[in-house]
Amino acid sequence: MPSEKISTSRRTLMQGATAGFVTAVATRAVAQTDVSNSAGTAMASPPQDPRTLYPHPPFPAQEQPWPGLAGRMTPRPDHGETSYRGSGRLNGRRALITGGDSGIGRAAAIAYAREGADVAIVYLPAEEPDAREVIQIIRAAGRKAIALPGDIRDEAFCQALVEQAVSGLGGLDILVSNAGRQQSHDSILDITTEQFDWTLRTNLYAMFWITKAAIPHMPPGSAIIYTSSVNAYDPSFNLLDYAMTKAAIANFSKGLSKQMIKRGIRVNAVAPGPFWTALQVSGGQTTENVEKFGEQVPMGRPGQPAEIAPVYVQLASAQASYVTGQVYGASGGSGQP
Ligand code: NAD
Ligand code: MG
């Protein structure tokens, strides 16, 4: 996609944002600018009060057909497009990220590319507009980008996507299994067998299939990262099927880490709290919950995907060489473990 289209979408981002959001993004961009001392060494960014960053509820009422597009959200989520600055922490790595078109996966994809990794992203064909932006950003960072559209509920596609990622990237060192399905239902009586199966296939079966296909390609020193949730520990009343899959993911991650260390592969999970992503506005929450999204956590606002990307970088990086079988949280002051 021409870079002009990206600038257009950045303009749309700013036009569509509330004044508070623009201020917050600008503040954050300044906050992340490294200051150099006289010896030319990068010094730490000045501290920022996390409560003052980013948009706070109430949010405009909005709903999109599943799976939703980040590009059509108001305000647009911040995935680190203008703020994430790398420092070579993943130089030469080859990463596969499911759900890398939007939200948390997109923030990880942008951060990984800027840290020096080549990145393959998996997404649904309906998400092509979001995915094109990510591909363009990865290439603008000087890294290789592989686009893998398809439906991970299909085992054959899960095997094929791993093969295509491995051949396109020339190997695989990092797997981020992050794609997820979340639909709000007030009662178990409203969850059909079809819906239940859809959630389990996306969140559990696909994770299992993709992991199995990827492991034989991953050399010692590789990292696997899963996306669990605060719902693993404290299930929301309206996310019964989703929450149980997130508990299973945390458990699977810990169990698998015990097997994979025999291959020199570290396995961890991330448990996000409320993050402002397309998942929430495409059936993941009721409209009422979207309007007050994030107000329940001590920080009083949802996280932006850019705020969790550093956790994915840390878990993938060799600096986390002693970290395996862990679940890392980022949830605005709530959540476990
Ligand atoms: P998102 O909608 O931006 O990302 C989810 C992605 O999953 C989609 O972009 C889509 O590409 C992918 N996906 C879903 N079904 C698929 C299918 N059948 N085939 C291929 N791809 C499919 O939302 P997000 O919030 O960034 O979600 C990423 C992960 O974070 C999910 O696992 C979600 O459960 C988890 N999570 C999100 C939150 C939150 O508040 N946003 C909190 C805790 C955990
Ligand atoms: Mg998406």
Q: Which tokens is 158 given?
A: 């899960």
CA of 59 to the centre of ligand 1 (A): 20
pLDDT at residue 213, rounded to an integer: 99
Provide the CATH number for the domain formed by 91-330 in this structure.
3.40.50.720
Output the CA torsion 121→122→124→125 (10° steps).
60
* Average pLDDT score, the chain: 90
Q: Which tens digits make up the pLDDT trace of 237-253?
A: 999 999 999 999 999 99
Task: Tell me how many degrees the CA angle 30-36-38 measures, rounded to the nearest 5.
Answer: 150
Q: Which tens digits make up the pLDDT trace of 72-117?
A: 999 999 999 999 999 999 999 999 999 999 999 999 999 999 999 9
Which pTM does this prediction carry? 0.90
- Catalytically active residues are 242
Q: Which atom of ligand 1 is nearest to the CA of 127?
A: 11
Q: Which tens digits make up the pLDDT trace of 269-321?
A: 999 999 999 999 999 999 999 999 999 999 999 999 999 999 999 999 999 99
* Residue among 152, 183, 277, 292 whose CB has most ligand 1 atoms within 8 A, to mutate: 277
The domain locations on the chain are 91-330
pLDDT at residue 45, rounded to an integer: 76
CA distance 172 to 93: 8
Which is higher by pLDDT, 2 or 132? 132
Across the range 142-165, mean pLDDT stands at 99
pLDDT class for 335, splitting at 50, 70, 90? confident
Instruction: Give the range among 2-11, 120-129, 148-157, 286-295 with minimum mean pLDDT.
Output: 2-11
Q: Is 104 in the pocket of ligand 1 (CB under 6 A)?
A: yes
* Residue among 279, 292, 296 whose CB has most ligand 1 atoms within 8 A, to mutate: 279
CA of 275 to the centre of ligand 1 (A): 11
Q: Which atom of ligand 1 is nearest to the CA of 246?
A: 34
Q: Which residue has the tokens 């034989």?
A: 216
Q: Percentage of residues in the chain with pLDDT exceeding 70?
A: 87
Across the range 160-183, mean pLDDT stands at 98
CA atoms within 13 A on the CB side of 248: 15
Q: Which residue has the tokens 């404290």?
A: 234
Straight-line distance from the first to the last Cα atom of the chain, in angstroms, rounded to the nearest whole number: 42
pLDDT at residue 44, rounded to an integer: 65
CA of 299 to the centre of ligand 1 (A): 23
pLDDT at residue 18, rounded to an integer: 36
Does residue 16 register a pLDDT over 90?
A: no
